[in-house]
Structure 1
């Protein structure tokens, strides 16, 4: 770690009543997260292990509708509520110098950081799913969704189709030098996207109430001895709806060869659905589920970014774009096959 990191860690830990002197030989920088620029450290102090997260103060205003200190407070208080209902969320540490659930500090350059501290959870990630892991994730999602909505939280209800609509509009307006044949192929793909967006927006009366939600992708779940021992994402806690979240879980936990493969297993998908208990849903809900599942895999951030890169490349070959679109078409067929029965 660089000296600037040590200084930030020292200031941050002091807000939680922890002396950095006792931790300096055991501070491990885990990552700086991609586009977010967050800093994440594993800290061992007096035999206690902690997860220290320094969240760039402008992250929320640039990424989501959650922009204020009160919103982050709500998310962290929600972790308490989730834990109270028996889910293994990281246990947060309350700052000793602030009534908020986090502390705000600045580095020498004036950059503001929101400091969040949790007790560390040891565990491993499972990325190639099994019937056992799929069953446990289906049950975990149902347990999360069954937590009663609390009036103390005023989260917006996240609607993934808002982002899909924006990306669809932006891609349809891109100036590009591709051939007319490739333009037609792209247009056909975007027509398919628009169809699934339309289907995904048709919520039934069975799924109108919001549910508590967070990002349960495979890299946010910790396992030990085939048991879920930790949920480590607090940044995406908010309200969603059941079908939208089930689609997200299916995309992640029907994968039988890991996160870098598009291979999915109908058996794993049915295991997830069986352990969630889908009896409360009807035919219209499953129609919507299919489209949300397709969109989550075939019109997600990674697809959109790759497509923009190909369209903006003046020397890209028509074959590259065609192969890119076909790869995701095949992924879509595989995802829809998960719900064919």
Structure 2
């Protein structure tokens, strides 16, 4: 028997499902963070089956996905489903309210099973798509603001400062030329300016998942039918959450393109109803937060660190220039 099929049949044995009836419909694209994700069918019903590894990152920039964190996330998605948010629906094993544990190829995994949600991804955003998603995000945030959780309430600043430390350590230990050192030093100063501009002592925390377009499903009439990410559920400040949404839902040519539209950003904010709290100071902060989402995220820091470590320093100028250009476009999304 196929090893993956055998493992899945073993994993669902405590789910009041017939393992012999299980069929793999598809292995979903890619293996992320050493996790595995499948669409499976058991008799006449389809499910999303996920194996979540215990160690998913090489660093501590993101919150570790411990058993306790997973339990909190599962409680939250059930809370959302009870309040009209079309989040994925958990199927619990008979001996636990959330997930099972399995061993596979010498590694330990948490196994989670959800009802399958049929839908399509929309990655080429339009004003209608951005507006609708703004409405959904506002509903999700407003429902979530009073949700009690023991997950850490960390602002965007904490992650940014951790990544700054990683980058500055790599910068200090590199043997860059004077010209390249100056280029990277200037970029670091720019990032620090945006981190400072994004700071606020008054944070309005609520729960949010990773709501990028690959985690949102739409029907043929372009209505949202499902949100399918849980691994990144945690607290975010309202404006920090908006920054990530604007980064994703202002893209006009899909996720592989970095072409963005101020009109789409304003459509999302209009759908969200942001005028009731987004004054001039908040817009200045939001603009810097959007810059940070695209130009000082883990992807940027990791790639820059690799360039420094690989000694391919001739690539650095082009790399930094690309992100500076991207930053100008992202900052221009918000009028102050």
TM-based fold match above 0.5 = yes
1:178 aligns to 2:176 (yes or no): yes
Match of 2:109 in 1: 113
Q: CA RMSD in A?
A: 1.9
CA positional deviation for 1:99: 2.6
CA positional deviation for 1:178: 2.5
1:336 aligns to 2:331 (yes or no): yes
The two structures have a TM-score, normalised by structure 2, of: 0.93
Match of 2:130 in 1: 134
3-state DSSP of counterpart to 1:173: helix
Equivalent position to 1:158, from 149, 154, 161: 154
CA gap of 1:74–1:115, structure 2 versus 1, over 3 A, is: same
CA positional deviation for 1:266: 0.7
Q: Cα deviation per residue 1:104-142 (whole Å; 9 max; x = unaligned)?
A: 122352x21111100001111111111111011111110
Match of 1:198 in 2: 196
Q: Cα deviation per residue 1:265-290 (whole Å; 9 max; x = unaligned)?
A: 01100101111111123322212111
Equivalent position to 1:89, from 87, 105, 110: 87
| Unmatched tracts of structure 2, length 5 or more | none
CA positional deviation for 1:221: 0.7
CA gap of 1:166–1:70, structure 2 versus 1, over 3 A, is: closer
What is the distance in 2 between the residues matched to 1:117 and 1:193?
Answer: 40
CA positional deviation for 1:249: 0.2
CA positional deviation for 1:69: 2.2
Number of equivalent positions: 331
What is the distance in 2 between the residues matched to 1:270 and 1:203?
Answer: 26
1:324 aligns to 2:319 (yes or no): yes
Q: Cα deviation per residue 1:186-217 (whole Å; 9 max; x = unaligned)?
A: 1001000001111112244xxx3311211101
Q: Cα deviation per residue 1:237-268 (whole Å; 9 max; x = unaligned)?
A: 12111000000000000000111111100110
The two structures have a TM-score, normalised by structure 1, of: 0.91
1:50 aligns to 2:41 (yes or no): no
Match of 2:97 in 1: 100
CA contact (8 A) 2:98 2:112 kept: yes
3-state DSSP of counterpart to 1:146: helix
Q: Cα deviation per residue 1:220-250 (whole Å; 9 max; x = unaligned)?
A: 1111121111100011112111000000000
CA gap of 1:52–1:179, structure 2 versus 1, over 3 A, is: same
3-state DSSP of counterpart to 2:277: coil
Match of 1:260 in 2: 256
Match of 1:18 in 2: 17
| Unmatched tracts of structure 1, length 5 or more | none
3-state DSSP of counterpart to 1:178: coil
What is the distance in 2 between the residues matched to 1:288 and 1:198?
Answer: 9
3-state DSSP of counterpart to 1:147: helix
CA positional deviation for 1:158: 3.3
CA positional deviation for 1:294: 0.4
